[in-house]
Amino acid sequence: MPFNIGAVNYAITAFLFAFLSVLLLTVWRGRLHGLLFFLVCLFTAIWASIAAYSAQYGYSLSFNVIASELVKNAVYAAFLIQLFRNSNHYHSKHFLKFVARAAIIFPFLLLTLIVYLKYIQAAPSWLGFDLRVFSHILIALFGLSLLEQIFRSIKSEQLWALKFLCFGFGALYAFDFLLYSDALLFKRINIDLWDARGIVDALALCLIAIAVHRNPQAESLVNISRSAVFYTTALIAAGAYLIIMSAGGFYLKSFGGDWGAVVAYTFLFTAVLFLIILVFSGHIRARIRVFIDKHFLDYKYDYRAQWLGLIRDLSIENAALSLENRALNALTEMMDSPGGSLWVKHNQRFYSPVAILGMSELEKETEPRDGLLAKFLEKWQWVINLDEFKSEPDLYRELTLPDWIVNSPKAWLIVPLMLQAELYGFVVIARPRAEKDFNWEDIDLLKTAGRQVAVHLAQDRSALALIEARQFEAFNRFSAYVVHDLKNLVSQLALVVKNAEKHKHNPAFMDDAILTVDNAVERMNRLLAQLRTGAVTDKFNESVDLTKIIATVVREKRNMKPVPVAKLNQEHVFVAANEARLVSVIGHLVQNAQDATADTGEIVINLYLQSDNAILTIRDTGGGMDAEFIKSRLFEPFVTTKGLTGMGIGAHESRAYIEELGGTLEVESEKGVGSTFFITLPLSGKKEPESEL
């Protein structure tokens, strides 16, 4: 008996749904929607099998077909309602429960009615037929309405995964509605539509399977081996190629004239020969395998987890492990390797290992930066698989491996650490604990991770270099300040020596000289202590009397001309400062005024209060400064107008310390008239007795 086309279509549908139900049975782990979808596939396979059998033997609308279809539709409704319940957009739970129960119970009530009518001979024949058809129309309308609600409730981020499910079930219900509407209208089932229904359901299953595969909460239903996909794709491609070439040969034979057959056979033989060459080309096979892996199979890694793990390993501070060791551990763990070595630029000539795990034989090795390995890694940026290199060295072009790699039995992979287009270093990864399938995904993962490791290592090295440079800068600045203070002390002592010959018999001069030397000794001892510790030892502030500090400065500077004069409007003014440093700052400004003023000029120091601040002014009648010099050069370090005798840091240090105390240092000056420095300091402690201007 020849096969009926309808039977074949339903048989195909039955096989596909049965196959899918078996797969679902192996992966289902107790979730309700998984169980319901399994029942959908199972009852659809049962219904399609009954329909195929009935179609083959000529009674497509048998009672068994109608009954199994009603059960199938009930399971469909239960699955879709459960899917709708998982949505966050439905509101009335009581209404939903009512609809769910009605959707499941309604087909069974209709089935009971159909059985009842089937065995009541007195019932009109058209009544039973119309009721059966009308029940299927109602079910189709109910299913389409429910799908419309599901589609409307899908969130935008879920649309990509669930739209094909709606399309698949929508196609099933839409075709059922078309089939049974036509039957209700013409009082008979259209056999052509009925036979086509089988293959339509199979096509709809493809859409539903796409939705299930895209669902992020669903497990992969089918796990096809990469070899199977590779060889299947290769056979399909080869078949398509031969068909195209045969069509070309047929065209040449038909329209090529007397030489058509010769040309056609030659063309076909050349095409087959070319196909054989391609099939046995390792390079072409590798390209095809990568293409299939990238576009047809699931990814080997959870890249989000891999990336987060790498960043965590590189970023978390671990006192026991350096960044280099953490980076090496992260890369080796990606490949399930027990060890490796990380190499970075040691100088302009070599790469050397900075972290080693389980490959101690490489500790004393170095690799020249102009060697073949470094040049190859920098030029091609490839991950070198040493096993592949041994079996197919031609794939690596001009590469020649150094002896320390060749003689290392543990070495497996060499991963370049690229910093932009420069080879910052590389990692040698030891063989994994178990045999591992190494493919393009491992290569892409290692190359990307290598770039990230290179960036972290370079940033860490730059940070260390910056810290070192800042330490040198701080030491140099500190040394400059010490030298500046020593220069001032030397100037004071030189002045004492200069005047000693003339005034050594004057008791008052001798008393001043002894005080000056004593003050110089004290300050020099403090500077020596700072040099020993590398830090400022007198940095702690206390409440000091500004009037006493001014008196000390005037006494220290009275051996130089013009002699400063203090005109204080307050008896006691207290500010928070270190006495020695504040004496040094004010003394420096007074000495600068003396250097800039002729011996016949004058230097006046004033002190008054303004609000909660003490205002100290140092006015001289020297040569003055222009606005441009004050703005751009006066407070810049290492800028001086005193030639070789000046350091150029006194004004900079003075303003820095005044601002450190919360005050300000400003200057007004006019060429040929003189300059006035304004020091503003916040008051601290009690002021007694005082009278404001």
Are residues 184 and 223 in contact, defined by beta-carbon separation less than 8 angstroms?
no
**More confident: 491 or 262:** 491
d(CA 61, CA 51): 8
What would the pLDDT profile of 596-610 be if each residue is shown by its tens digit? 899 889 999 999 898
Check if the beta carbon of residue 673 is closer than 8 Å to that of residue 621.
Answer: yes
| Distance separating alpha carbons of residues 443 and 44, to the nearest angstrom | 44
Condensed to tens digits (0 to 9), the pLDDT of residues 308-354 reads 888 888 887 665 788 999 999 999 988 888 899 999 987 778 999 99
pLDDT(221) > 50 = no
Q: For the stretch 197-208, what's the b/e string if a residue is b when 16 or more beta carbons lie within 10 angstroms of its beta carbon? A: bbbbbbebbebb
Length of the chain in terms of residues written:
693
How high is the pLDDT of residue 145?
79
Average pLDDT, the chain: 76
pLDDT tens digits, one per residue of 613-630: 999 999 999 988 888 888
**DSSP alpha helix (H) spans, 401-439:** 403-406
User: Average pLDDT of 77-81?
Assistant: 81
Strands 564-568 and 603-610: parallel
At position 158, the amino acid (one-letter code) is Q
| Integer Cα distance of 49 and 200 in angstroms | 15
Evaluate if residue 306 carries a pLDDT over 50: yes
Domain segments of the chain as ranges? 5-214, 226-296, 306-466, 540-682
Based on its alpha-carbon atoms, the radius of gyration of the chain, rounded to whole angstroms, reads 47
Q: In angstroms, rounded to a whole number, what is the distance separating the alpha carbons of residues 682 and 568?
A: 17
Residue 61 has pLDDT above 80, yes or no: no
How far CA 162 is from CA of 220, 327, 516, in Å, comes to 15, 41, 92
465's tokens? 């270099």
Strand pairing category for 613-620 and 574-577: unpaired
- CATH entry 3.40.309.10 includes domain 540-682: no
Task: Please report, in angstroms and rounded to a whole number, the separation of the first and last CA atoms in the chain.
Answer: 127
* CATH class of this structure's domain 306-466: alpha beta
| Single-letter amino acid, residue 598 | A
Q: Which fold has domain 5-214?
A: Rhopdopsin 7-helix transmembrane proteins (1.20.1070)
Q: Which of 11-15, 88-92, 507-511 has the lowest mean pLDDT?
A: 88-92
- For the record, the structure tokens of 639 come out as 């800028």
Mean of pLDDT values over 239-263: 59
- The reported pLDDT for the residue numbered 129 is 58
| DSSP result, 345-402 | E-SSSEEEEEEEES-GGGTT--EETTSHHHHHHHHH-PPEEHHHHHH-GGGGTT----
DSSP SS3 for 86: coil
**Integer Cα distance of 568 and 553 in angstroms:** 14
Give percent above pLDDT 90 in the chain.
18
pLDDT above 50 for 223: no
